Chain A
Amino acid sequence: MANKVPITLKVNGAERSAEVQPRTLLVHFLREDLGLTGTHIGCDTTQCGACTILVDGKSAKSCTLFAVQADGADITTIEGVASDGDLHPVQEGFWEEHGLQCGYCTPGMIMSAIHLLNENKSPSEQEIREGISGNFCRCTGYQHIVNAIKYAANKG
């Protein structure tokens, strides 16, 4: 068995250290080792975006990073988005505008939306659609998700 490697990273503001097998995918590390199961897995070819998190502020598919690559990184998952019990405006938007049904795509979708709004404060409908083009939702047809992100943009 390959040697385990020590890593230290910041997850949702808290510093975490662990020893991981190099092949451990970041999404498995978050879910299994840290118990942060809000980040989901929907494919094995890096398309669906269910696993999206922020790595140093940028959206990334955590199924396509090894945990060792995130050594030293600052990571935000869906669990770290609300602050002091207050929902993030994007979360609020998803609730207000019914931006979810089964909820499986939702954490990843919210992380992509946060990244989008960080880069572009008031995106057009087309920019929103492009901003979430790396996230699949099979339930909603995306229209309420677009509304949810518009809601957050108007609030932010």
Chain B
Amino acid sequence: MIPEEFEYKRAATLDEAISLMQSSGGEGKFLAGGHSLIPLMKLRLSEPGVLIDISRIPQINGITDQNGKVQVGAATTHAEVVSSDLIRRVCPVVAECAAEIGDPQVRNRGTMGGSLAHSDPSADYPAVMVALDAEIHLKGPGGWRAVKAGDFFQGMFTVDMAEDEIIAGIQLPPAQHAAYVKLHQRASHYAIVGIAAVLEMDGRTCTSARIGITGASTHAQRLTNVEAALAGKELTQANIDAAAAIADAGLEDVNSDIHASEAYRRAMVKVFTRRAIERAASR
């Protein structure tokens, strides 16, 4: 229940946050909503020496329209995403996903940037981000960098981000034929398997598809074999079923725990892939 001691700094700007991190001697961690970090600290599974609170940096708060794309500040809470008219209009799948995260109190505090930076293997957002091909905007001592979500998630709690880099924002492209579905772990309600499907449609034909998966393995990734199986196909039930049937084929390092064995997870990957595609296609 009780964390180790640490020093607390609050950054007013991105640059200040970065320089505070640089001067922390490798001991620092950014603090956004705290809803991944503080639970770990309370169990003493994470013991940073310095916390740099970035939640009040104006630059990384808020949701804005940028030429048809949506720019979400990293410190935007899940609840703000759920209730954003702009997101509901331009890429409603992101709001759909945010609504599946945790519970109301968690959604009031947790942030999009924190979720992506933390990259919990069973977090929800990452699946949607890779499916959307969202762009993650990072700032570091050397300046700005943009990383595609598909390249950002690299392994278990591992992302393409240096210690002194900070996620400033996430750029979401529009997507209408998209859906996120999730098998809840019944205690924590994190995703045992979560699948996001983003489809380009021409009538009933899927011109291209992007499928993102979370929960099943070490990190969120794309199911490129499913994407290939859908591309150019009419979305008949048979075609959807055939694409979903190979959903777990390329997956490695599939998780296994008391809630779901590897075999069960693999089966659920197929089920939820099909459900996500069906739902996306119906929109």
Residues of A within 8 A of B (CB): 1-3, 5, 21-23, 25, 41, 44-47, 49, 52, 55, 58-61, 63-66, 68-69, 71, 112, 115-116, 130-131, 133-135
A-B contact pairs, 8 of them (CB 8 A): A2-B8, A45-B43, A52-B105, A59-B104, A61-B106, A64-B38, A115-B108, A130-B104
Taken together as a complex, chains A and B put the C-alpha atoms of A71 and B55 apart, in Å, by 12
Minimum CB–CB distance from A74 to chain B (whole Å) comes to: 14
**Which among B3, B31, B103 has the greatest number of chain A C-beta atoms within 10 A?**
B103
Number of chain B residues whose Cβ lies closer than 8 Å to a Cβ of chain A: 28
**Shortest beta-carbon distance, B163 to chain A, in Å?**
20
For A65, the chain B residues whose CB sits under 8 A away are: 34, 38, 109
Least distance between A27 CB and chain B CB atoms (Å) = 10
A22→B187 CA distance, assembly (Å): 31
A60 close to B8 (CB less than 8 A): no
- Beyond A25-B2, A61-B105, 15 additional contacts (C-beta under 8 Å) are A2-B7, A3-B7, A25-B1, A25-B42, A44-B42, A45-B43, A52-B105, A55-B108, A58-B108, A61-B109, A66-B8, A68-B53, A69-B31, A69-B53, A134-B105
Which listed residue, B2, B4, B104, touches A134 by the CB 8 Å rule?
A: B104
B144 in the interface (beta carbon within 8 A): no
Tell me, rounded to whole Å, the shortest Cβ–Cβ distance linking A33 to chain B. Answer: 15
* CB 8 Å contact bits of B7-42 with A (1 = contact, 0 = none): 110100000000000000000000100110011001
Query: Are B3 and A23 in contact (CB-based, < 8 A)?
Result: yes
How many inter-chain contacts with C-beta < 8 Å in the A-B complex? 86
Q: B49: nearest residue on chain A (CB-CB)?
A: A2
Give Cα distance in the complex from A55 to B108, angstroms. Answer: 9
Q: Are B103 and A133 in contact (CB under 8 A)?
A: yes
